[in-house]
């Protein structure tokens, strides 16, 4: 897989580059969204694939690389985990055990490896993972800087439909926007991008490069991404997997519920649609529905100020005396031990 000019695209290669001029007061950032599939149930092999893709993007000068939702750990498309109202099958429980085994601890050795990759290739890395916290899983995005440091995470606050049977719910403590050398970066995952209050919280934190890892390849997704770019006055980087049936284990180990009989190994089960959009709503790169690709564009950060001059949703276009938002950004835990809290308070007094 390589990056080539859009004047000569191939079925599996794409880059859009925009001439941003020579104004030295404006920072330009080369960003890449990765459109590729997980190696399902094989996290070490998926990390190897991630490094190959990261190396290739860095070789073409990318400073920021964004991977799709659940790239490490996998998006269990088509699976119902044997669930019906009032019943869970033994096969479905075994599927969950295998899925749980493919997830990663945060922090953990896989996070250390991802951090090392970011440092090795000197890039800002945004990676979609399935996070394992005990026996609960979360759909999570991890952030790393070019010095090889893990910055933090965002847990999806609202899984969609059957995702709720396998993933927990993030809370307000993991809605970060990180101030970096290339701008303020944050992420929302898939359909939580449709949640206007979540978006508003991120705008209030000053997000400039809005990452949107997703599993939605429908045409309507592009409308949401363009709207967010215009609404937030920010760059939007949407990364989705491109998957064929053969990228998942074969039946009966893995079954696409309700559609398996219609699929061949080469059937496309997720068509991608990854794209990069400017604060003015201009599509800088993508959407690509052709195959695995590295989709890139040069971001002129001066576009943010030009867009905010027209519309600043949490600034001059806000009416806080009429409409306001309160975000509960503290961690929520089901159990609190008073002895632990007392020890923390005592140590602070010393």
Cβ atoms within 10 Å, residue 271: 19
* CA distance from start to end of the chain: 57
Residue 293 near residue 274, CB atoms below 8 Å: yes
Residue 35 near residue 288, CB atoms below 8 Å: yes
Residue among 283, 288, 294 nearest 272 (CA): 288
Vertex 144 angle, CA 276 and 76, to 5°: 65
Active site residue 69: yes
Residue among 234, 226, 167 nearest 206 (CA): 234
Vertex 314 angle, CA 160 and 301, to 5°: 90
Residue 327 near residue 175, CB atoms below 8 Å: yes
Q: Provide the Cα torsion 184, 185, 191, 196; round to 10°.
A: -10
Q: Which member of 56, 69, 163, 303 is catalytic? A: 69
Cis peptide before 252 (omega within 30 of 0): yes
* Segment 275-278 long-range contacts (CB within 8 Å, at least 24 positions apart): 275/33, 275/222, 275/225, 275/236, 275/238, 276/16, 276/31, 276/33, 276/235, 276/236, 276/237, 276/238, 277/225, 277/226, 277/229, 277/235, 277/236, 277/238, 278/229, 278/235, 278/303
Q: Any idea which residues carry the catalytic annotation? A: 69
């Amino acid at each position: 897989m390589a990056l080539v000019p859009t004047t000569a695209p191939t079925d599996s290669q794409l880059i859009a580059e925009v001439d941003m001029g020579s104004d030295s007061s404006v920072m330009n950032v080369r960003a890449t969204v990765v459109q590729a599939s997980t190696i399902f149930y094989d996290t070490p092999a998926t990390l190897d694939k991630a490094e190959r893709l990261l190396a290739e993007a860095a070789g073409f000068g990318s400073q920021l690389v964004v991977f799709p939702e659940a790239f490490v750990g996998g998006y269990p498309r088509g699976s119902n985990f044997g669930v019906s109202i009032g019943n869970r099958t033994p096969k479905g429980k075994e599927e969950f055990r295998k899925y749980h085994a493919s997830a990663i601890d945060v922090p953990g050795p896989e996070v250390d490896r991802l951090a090392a990759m970011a440092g090795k290739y000197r890039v800002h890395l945004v990676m979609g993972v399935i996070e394992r916290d005990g026996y609960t899983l979360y759909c999570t995005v991890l952030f790393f800087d070019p010095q090889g440091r893990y910055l933090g995470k965002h847990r999806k606050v609202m899984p969609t439909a059957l995702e709720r049977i396998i993933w927990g719910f993030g809370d307000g403590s993991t809605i970060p926007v990180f101030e970096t050398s290339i701008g303020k970066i944050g992420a929302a995952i898939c359909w939580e991008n449709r949640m206007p209050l979540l978006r508003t919280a991120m705008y209030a934190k000053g997000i400039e490069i809005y990452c949107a890892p997703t599993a939605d390849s429908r045409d309507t997704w592009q409308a949401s991404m363009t709207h967010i770019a215009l609404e937030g006055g920010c760059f939007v980087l949407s990364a989705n997997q491109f998957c064929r049936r053969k990228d998942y284990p074969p039946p009966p180990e893995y079954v696409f519920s309700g559609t398996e009989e219609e699929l061949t190994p080469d059937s496309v089960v997720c068509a991608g649609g990854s794209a990069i959009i400017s604060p003015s709503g201009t599509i800088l790169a993508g959407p690509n529905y052709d195959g695995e690709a590295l989709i890139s564009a040069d971001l002129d950060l001066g576009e943010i100020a030009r867009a905010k001059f027209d519309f600043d949703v949490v600034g001059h276009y806000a009416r806080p005396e009429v409409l306001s938002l309160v975000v509960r950004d503290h961690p929520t835990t089901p159990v609190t031990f008073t002895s632990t809290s007392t020890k923390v308070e005592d140590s602070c007094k010393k």
